[in-house]
Amino acid sequence: MKTFCGRANPTTGSMEWLEEGEDYDYHQEIARSRYADMLHDKDRNVKYYQGIRAAVSRVKERGEKAIVLDIGTGTGLLSMMAASAGADFCYAIEVFKPMANAAVKIVEKNGFSDKIKVINKHSTEVTVGPDGDMQCRANILVTELFDTELIGEGALPTYEHAHKYLVQEGCEAVPHRATVYVQLVESKRMWSWKKLFPVHVEAEDGEKILVPPSEMENCPGVPSVCDIQLNQMPSSDFSTLSDVVTMFSVDFSKPVQSASTYYRVQLEPVKSGKAQIVLSWWDIDMDPSGMINCTMAPYWVKPTSALQWRDHWMQCVYFLPNDEPVLQGEKLYLTACRDEYSVWYSLQKAREGEHKADEEEHKADVCVESPVCRCRAHLLWNRPRFGELNDQNRTRQYIKSLRKVLKTDSVCLCISDGSLLPVLAHYLGAKQVQYFILFFKANHLEDKIKIIEARPELLKPSHLEDKKISVLVGEPFFTTSLLPWHNLYFWYARTAVSPHLASNVSVLPHSASLHMMVVEFQDLWKIRSPCGICEGFDVQTMDDMIKDSLNFRESKEAEPHPLWEYPCKSLSDPQEVLTFDFTKTVPQHSLSSEGSVNLLRKGKSHGAVLWMEYHLAADISVSTGLMQMSNEKGNCEWNPHCKQAVYFFSSVIESEILSDPTSVTYAINFDTKTGEIAMDFKL
Ligand code: SAH
């Protein structure tokens, strides 16, 4: 069997379909999966074990046999917990074949083969009866099918089906219930991920303000969940307008309905402000008493000492359709609508002198449709990109640099996706530029800025009205880029348009550089590190599977992570490892760099972080990675809008103990034919 995988080609900026062997998909799935992170989640594991023990005891106390149904068994962990707790038999269901195979091996290795039957099916395909997958219905239902939004992985339809066909009435469920909490906040930072703020440009002839079109202003955005490590959001970046309130709960021991519905709660703001964002998280009670609770609550809600780091469950940021001023003590209703897989929110003001009976009337006002982008900007720009375009400091750097190169008769070509640079360039004096219709209409620029619908290599003199380009600009930013250096597509495009450039062309940025630093992560290492023994169960088979998948390609790859969400400490100084000269064309030969970096601080060398810096003018550069570093402790501040490249050293993946190395040697190679960077490190 052959698989075709979509991948952006950094030399052409477009998607290509590559033929891959049948193993490829599977290795990607395993290598990038969250199984390792879940096995490292001590808090989750301990509480599941406690909940399972309690459920098995309750069933035994009733004098019944304990028959367990574990839906989505993964490594088989929860079934092994149940078997150890005294369950008579477990049916462990797993839809993903490689995982089901791993579960069989792990169960056998731990000596539970006679108590646990692994079934490689989706739970809705499982049959019950003398000739079925299960001999009889189960009286204990154990699952871990939750994502950050709780229901995004299909927990509701799975539970609905299980209660109808696979478990007995009155069964015990672990977890017993889940509760979703919300808090209303005002946050310019988070709001900047959804709305485009006006851009102020100081031009020769006075201040110009770039305004987003009304269509964009009123657009509800996109329904996809915004999940982040909320614990990394400093309290100065938002202001809470309400207490934490319970939005809804689901009792997993009773029949569950997955059909679309909504929930409403009354809110009284504790402070006046602009209601913009609903922050949300959930907790699960492993037993009916609520004594065994596993919560995703952020730092300001619970003591920091009780925080468990995890990446498989984070917190959600929901954007209200519009920001609305609210007054302290005012009566508000917050509505959560949900379908089978997602949740969205809206806010209603209670009317003057409203009675309970009137509430029924409100139902008609309640938003029922999931948000769908009408302005197209939310499809073009993802949330970090909105944040980046709204970053005034960044915009200022571009304006300052553009001002240095633009003249009134400049013919300017901009190569970047969904960029505001053409508009800035126009306001700063350029005669002719390109891109993004919607925005231009709102700012009456359709005739000033021309969109060229041609790939750079197909650019013809007629596109430019037979003029030569005097200023070539790019942020650069391309939506298909995954790793920082993929934006070097700008260099390839610059090479392709060479025949159209004036001899004295200004290229902005004129160059870029790749930077590297060795770090110790506070927690991120856990997503790639073997677990060994988990709550007394040997899960090494899983570790080996992950390791195999990570090493599937001859050379390991760097992976993109937004490091503002994942704190780390620098162990070395940042080092410039490669430079790219945009005033020249892409060379035929590859660019490489070798050397060593000294480790200045004590710590575990988990990996290298790599990022790009763009040099806009002699004294103006923008970094897509490190913004600041404190010298004594090595704490780092990262660009909050970009993902950086993380290369985990094999010591993390192999879990080797190293005696404190004092330096790391590196070999980095930029293959100009493929646009990819290969790297190797030795400690
Ligand atoms: N129970 C394990 C793994 C949880 S991850 C643990 O707690 O460590 C969830 C697993 O459930 C994934 O492996 C996924 O493939 C599987 N899964 C999700 N929905 C399923 C369904 N309806 N039927 C069978 N497997 C399912």
| pLDDT over 50 at 438, yes or no | no
Q: Which two tokens stand for residue 571?
A: 């162990």
Residue with tokens 């993964």: 74
| pLDDT over 90 at 673, yes or no | yes
93 lines ligand 1 (CB under 6 A): yes
Are 604 and 567 in the same domain? yes
Stretch 501-517: mean pLDDT, rounded? 96
CA-wise closest residue to 547 among 647, 645, 652: 652
If one residue of 30, 35, 77, 144 were mutated to test the ligand 1 pocket, choosing by the most ligand atoms within 8 A of its CB, it would be 144
CA-wise closest residue to 168 among 282, 254, 266, 96: 254
Nearest CA to ligand 1 atom 9: 72
Nearest atom (ligand 1) to Cα of 155: 19
Residue with tokens 């329904």: 223
Are 551 and 666 in the same domain? yes
- pLDDT tens digit sequence for 602-619: 899 999 999 999 999 999
Distance in Å, CA 450 to ligand 1 centroid = 51
User: E strands along 590-635, which residues?
Assistant: 591-598, 607-617, 620-623, 626-629
Nearest CA to ligand 1 atom 18: 72
Report the pLDDT value the prediction gives residue 612, as an integer from 0 to 100.
Answer: 98
77 lines ligand 1 (CB under 6 A): yes
Are 650 and 660 in the same domain? yes
Q: Is residue 157 a part of any domain in this protein?
A: no
Distance in Å, CA 158 to ligand 1 centroid = 11
144 lines ligand 1 (CB under 6 A): yes
Of the two residues 441 and 662, the one the predictor is more confident about is: 662
- pLDDT tens digit sequence for 194-238: 999 999 888 777 888 888 888 888 898 998 899 999 999 999 999
- Give residue 405's domain range: 391-503
158 lines ligand 1 (CB under 6 A): yes
Nearest atom (ligand 1) to Cα of 70: 1
Are 532 and 489 in the same domain? no
- pLDDT tens digit sequence for 116-135: 999 999 999 999 999 999 99
45 lines ligand 1 (CB under 6 A): no
If one residue of 95, 143, 284 were mutated to test the ligand 1 pocket, choosing by the most ligand atoms within 8 A of its CB, it would be 95
Whole-number average pLDDT of the chain? 90
Are 496 and 599 in the same domain? no
Stretch 63-86: mean pLDDT, rounded? 97
Q: Is residue 478 a part of any domain in this protein?
A: yes
Distance in Å, CA 107 to ligand 1 centroid = 16
Nearest CA to ligand 1 atom 14: 72
> 251 near 335, Cβ under 8 Å?
no
Of the two residues 24 and 558, the one the predictor is more confident about is: 558
Report the pLDDT value the prediction gives residue 352, as an integer from 0 to 100.
Answer: 62
CA 358 to chain centre: 41
Q: Which amino acid is at 337?
A: C
Distance in Å, CA 146 to ligand 1 centroid = 9
419 lines ligand 1 (CB under 6 A): no
Report the pLDDT value the prediction gives residue 437, as an integer from 0 to 100.
Answer: 37
In a 3-state reduction of DSSP, which class is residue 177? Answer: strand
Nearest atom (ligand 1) to Cα of 96: 15
Report the pLDDT value the prediction gives residue 203, as an integer from 0 to 100.
Answer: 77
434 lines ligand 1 (CB under 6 A): no
> 592 near 677, Cβ under 8 Å?
no
Q: Which two tokens stand for residue 156?
A: 């509701």
DSSP string, 85-111: TT-SEEEEE--SHHHHHHHHHHHHHTT
Distance in Å, CA 291 to ligand 1 centroid = 25
Q: What is the number of domains present in the chain?
A: 5
Are 99 and 42 in the same domain? yes
Which of 297-311, 415-429, 478-492 ranks highest by mean pLDDT? 478-492
Report the pLDDT value the prediction gives residue 431, as an integer from 0 to 100.
Answer: 55
User: E strands along 121-176, which residues?
Assistant: 138-143, 167-174
Nearest atom (ligand 1) to Cα of 143: 1
Are 316 and 188 in the same domain? yes
72 lines ligand 1 (CB under 6 A): yes
In this structure, what CATH number is given to the domain that contains residue 431? 3.40.50.150
- The residue from 129, 144, 159 where one domain ends is 144
Residues in contact with 468: Cβ distance below 8 Å, sequence separation at least 6, in sequence order: 411, 500, 501, 502, 505
In which band, very low, low, confident or very high, does the pLDDT at 439 lie, cut at 50, 70 and 90?
very low
Are 239 and 366 in the same domain? yes
- The residue from 454, 483, 503 where one domain ends is 503
Of the two residues 50 and 421, the one the predictor is more confident about is: 50
Distance in Å, CA 546 to ligand 1 centroid = 17
Are 482 and 578 in the same domain? no
In which band, very low, low, confident or very high, does the pLDDT at 505 lie, cut at 50, 70 and 90?
very high
| pLDDT over 90 at 346, yes or no | yes
186 lines ligand 1 (CB under 6 A): no
- The residue from 341, 375, 409 where one domain ends is 375
Distance in Å, CA 368 to ligand 1 centroid = 30
Nearest CA to ligand 1 atom 22: 123
Q: Is residue 204 a part of any domain in this protein?
A: yes
CA atoms within 13 A on the CB side of 609: 31
In which band, very low, low, confident or very high, does the pLDDT at 11 lie, cut at 50, 70 and 90?
confident
Instruction: Just list the catalytic residues.
Output: 144, 153
79 lines ligand 1 (CB under 6 A): no
Residue with tokens 């934006």: 487
| pLDDT over 80 at 506, yes or no | yes
**High-pLDDT (> 90) share of the chain, %:** 69
Q: Is residue 167 a part of any domain in this protein?
A: no
Q: Which two tokens stand for residue 4?
A: 């075709």
| pLDDT over 70 at 3, yes or no | no
Q: Is residue 151 a part of any domain in this protein?
A: no
Report the pLDDT value the prediction gives residue 195, as an integer from 0 to 100.
Answer: 94
Distance in Å, CA 94 to ligand 1 centroid = 6
Stretch 513-529: mean pLDDT, rounded? 94
Distance in Å, CA 81 to ligand 1 centroid = 16
Nearest CA to ligand 1 atom 20: 72
Stretch 658-673: mean pLDDT, rounded? 90
In a 3-state reduction of DSSP, which class is residue 525? Answer: helix
Query: 37-46, 359-368, 622-631, 647-656: which has the minimum mean pLDDT?
Result: 359-368
Are 619 and 553 in the same domain? yes
Q: Is residue 150 a part of any domain in this protein?
A: no
Distance in Å, CA 461 to ligand 1 centroid = 57
Distance in Å, CA 505 to ligand 1 centroid = 57
Q: Is residue 520 a part of any domain in this protein?
A: yes
> 27 near 552, Cβ under 8 Å?
yes
- pLDDT tens digit sequence for 14-41: 777 766 666 666 777 776 677 889 999 9
Are 498 and 530 in the same domain? no
122 lines ligand 1 (CB under 6 A): yes
Report the pLDDT value the prediction gives residue 191, as an integer from 0 to 100.
Answer: 97
If one residue of 79, 94, 150 were mutated to test the ligand 1 pocket, choosing by the most ligand atoms within 8 A of its CB, it would be 94
Q: Is residue 152 a part of any domain in this protein?
A: no
78 lines ligand 1 (CB under 6 A): yes
Q: Phi, psi (5° rounding) for residue 608?
A: -110, 145
CA 214 to chain centre: 29
Name the helix (H) or strand (E) containing 645. strand 644-648
Task: State the Cα–Cα distance between residues 557 and 482, nearest whole angstrom.
Answer: 12
In this structure, what CATH number is given to the domain that contains residue 567? 2.70.160.11
- pLDDT tens digit sequence for 380-420: 899 999 999 999 999 999 999 999 998 888 888 888 888 88
3-state helix, strand, coil in the chain (%, to 5): 25, 35, 40
CA 61, 66, 67 angle in degrees (round to 5)? Answer: 160
Nearest CA to ligand 1 atom 16: 72
Nearest atom (ligand 1) to Cα of 126: 23
Are 24 and 44 in the same domain? no
In which band, very low, low, confident or very high, does the pLDDT at 643 lie, cut at 50, 70 and 90?
very high
If one residue of 33, 71, 127, 252 were mutated to test the ligand 1 pocket, choosing by the most ligand atoms within 8 A of its CB, it would be 71
Which of 25-39, 51-65, 470-484 ranks highest by mean pLDDT? 51-65
Nearest atom (ligand 1) to Cα of 72: 11
Which of 200-204, 322-326, 430-434 ranks highest by mean pLDDT? 322-326
Stretch 656-663: mean pLDDT, rounded? 77
Report the pLDDT value the prediction gives residue 2, as an integer from 0 to 100.
Answer: 57
516 lines ligand 1 (CB under 6 A): no
* pTM (predicted TM-score): 0.93
Q: Which two tokens stand for residue 302?
A: 């619970």
If one residue of 33, 70, 73, 252 were mutated to test the ligand 1 pocket, choosing by the most ligand atoms within 8 A of its CB, it would be 73
Nearest atom (ligand 1) to Cα of 34: 5
Which of 343-352, 467-476, 545-554 ranks highest by mean pLDDT? 467-476
71 lines ligand 1 (CB under 6 A): yes
Q: Which two tokens stand for residue 356?
A: 């309970």
Provide the 8-state DSSP code for 67.
E
If one residue of 35, 79, 145 were mutated to test the ligand 1 pocket, choosing by the most ligand atoms within 8 A of its CB, it would be 145
In which band, very low, low, confident or very high, does the pLDDT at 436 lie, cut at 50, 70 and 90?
very low
Nearest atom (ligand 1) to Cα of 158: 22
Nearest atom (ligand 1) to Cα of 93: 24
